[in-house]
Structure 1
Amino acid sequence: MSRTFRAGLVTFGLLSVADLAGPLLTDGEHPPMSIALIGSVLGLISLVLVVIAWRGERRAVVPLIVLRVLSAVSALPAFFAGDVPAAALVAAGVLIALTAAGTVLVLVPARELAGAR
Structure 2
Amino acid sequence: MYRAGLLILGLLSVADLLLPLLTDGEAPPMAIALVAAALGLASLVLVISAWRGARKAVLPLIVIRALSAAAALPAFFEAGVPAPAIAAAAATVALTAAGAALVLKGRTAVAR
Q: For this structure pair, what is the TM-score category when the shorter chain's length is used for normalisation?
A: over 0.9
TM-score (norm. length: structure 1): 0.93
TM-score (norm. length: structure 2): 0.97
Please say if 1:67 is aligned against 2:64.
yes
Please say if 1:33 is aligned against 2:30.
yes
Please say if 1:54 is aligned against 2:51.
yes
Please say if 1:102 is aligned against 2:99.
yes
Unaligned runs of 5+ in 2: none
Please say if 1:6 is aligned against 2:13.
no
Structure with larger Rg? 1
Corresponding residue for residue 111 of structure 1: 108
Instruction: Give the Cα–Cα distance (whole angstroms) in 1 for the partners of residues 110 and 12 of structure 2.
Output: 26
Q: CA RMSD in A?
A: 0.9
Corresponding residue for residue 76 of structure 1: 73
User: Identity of aligned pairs, percent?
Assistant: 62
**Aligned pairs, how many?**
112
Instruction: Give the Cα–Cα distance (whole angstroms) in 2 for the partners of residues 110 and 24 of structure 1.
Output: 34
The one-character-per-residue Cα deviations of 1:5-61 (angstroms, maximum 9, x if unpaired) are 000000010000000000011111100100000000000000000000010000000
For 2:84, the aligned partner's letter is A
For 2:107, the aligned partner's letter is A
Runs of 4+ with deviation above 6 angstroms? none
